[in-house]
Amino acid sequence: MLYAAVAARSFRRYATYRIATASGVFTNTVFGFIIAYTYIALWTERPHLGGYDLPQALTYAWTGQALLAATGLLMGGGMDDLQERIRSGDIAVDLHRPADLQLWWLAADLGRAAFQLIGRGLLPMAVGTLVFPSALPASAATWLLFLLSVALGVVVGFALRYLVALTSFWLLDGAGVSMVAGLLCMFCSGMVLPLNVFPGAFGEVVRLLPWSSMLQVPADVLLGVHDGAGVAGALAFQAGWAAVLLAAGRLLQSVATRKVVVQGG
């Protein structure tokens, strides 16, 4: 119940910044247009590249823009606050609260993601669908599975960013690690180009890494790339990574809180 309240407050916190949200929608739409045109040029030269036809490729591009803020495909994504609290020493206060640190931040991140999906995701997707050919599914079941997949992607994204934020216990200034982590995420999630376009064994490895849960897998669920069993497998893949990474975060958290001296404490 406590965590639901945290999530709801986090949702409202992000909903407060209306001008920032509007300007984010504008930015996502502008980038969506640029990427969509480059995909048109690419898929016109090489139809069915990566197994997508042109409408599928374009829908992939707009899905990326719609999920960009929600799953935190770029750097930062709400964990800056945790990093700052670790750096300043305020984390000592959090550790004394009768709430689990990781669950607290997960709840806050889910609230943030829910707002970003609605606030920053819907409109660019709608614009993209109106202006360009699209391959959006008609069936409600596919949409539900897509939302489930997005939710799992958000959790994986959170678990990764939580691990990065915890490195601040040792490094104090986590900006460098955040940046490297952000780059890995951008490249390996399929934000730069769909992962099925990545060549050979390299592509296969990248598709097995956790980052693919954040964009490639949800997009494929939306595009109906998988059959019934395939969808189940894709969701299990995401859930598996979420579990592993959350457990790793928990482990690192206990190591950090046991041996690290909090600043200013």
Partner 1 sequence: MAEERVRAGAAVRERAGAAVRIGEGLRAYGLIAAMWVRSTLAYRTSFLLTALGHFAATGLDFLAILLMFSHITVLGGFTLPEVAFLYGTSNAALGLADLALGSMDRLGSRVRDGTMDVLLVRPVPVFAQVAADRFALRRLGRITQAALVLGWSLTRVEVDWTPGRVLLVPLMLLSGTVIFGAVFTLGAAFQFVAQDAAEVQNSFTYGGSTLLQYPPAVFAKDLVRGVTFVVPLAFVNWLPALRLLGRDDPLGLPGWVDFCGPAVAALMCVLAWLAWRTGLRNYRSTGS
Q: Which residues bind partner 1 (CB under 8 A)?
A: 17, 19-20, 22-24, 26-27, 30-31, 33-34, 37-38, 40-42, 45-46, 49, 171-173, 175-177, 179-180, 182-183, 186-187, 192-193, 197-199
Pick 23 or 254: Cβ nearer partner 1? 23
Pick 99 or 172: Cβ nearer partner 1? 172
* Length reported for the chain: 265
Q: How far is the CB of 35 from partner 1 (least distance, A)?
A: 8
Per DSSP, the chain holds a count of helices (H) and strands (E) of 13, 0
Q: How far is the CB of 210 from partner 1 (least distance, A)?
A: 18
Pull the structure tokens for residue 155: 């959790």
Pick 11 or 39: Cβ nearer partner 1? 39
Q: Are 73 and 153 in contact (CB under 8 A)?
A: no
Q: How far is the CB of 175 from partner 1 (least distance, A)?
A: 5
Pull the structure tokens for residue 181: 């982590």
Residue 96 burial (10 A CB sphere; 0-12, 13-18, 19+): exposed
Q: How far is the CB of 176 from partner 1 (least distance, A)?
A: 3
Pick 95 or 172: Cβ nearer partner 1? 172
Query: Which amino acid is present at 93?
Result: V
Pick 200 or 228: Cβ nearer partner 1? 200
Pick 40 or 135: Cβ nearer partner 1? 40
Query: Which amino acid is present at 220?
Result: D
Q: How far is the CB of 193 from partner 1 (least distance, A)?
A: 5
Residue whose structure tokens are 């990326």: 64
d(CA 72, CA 18): 19
Region label for 227, one of left (φ > 0), alpha (ψ between -120 and 50) or beta (otherwise): beta
d(CA 105, CA 109): 6
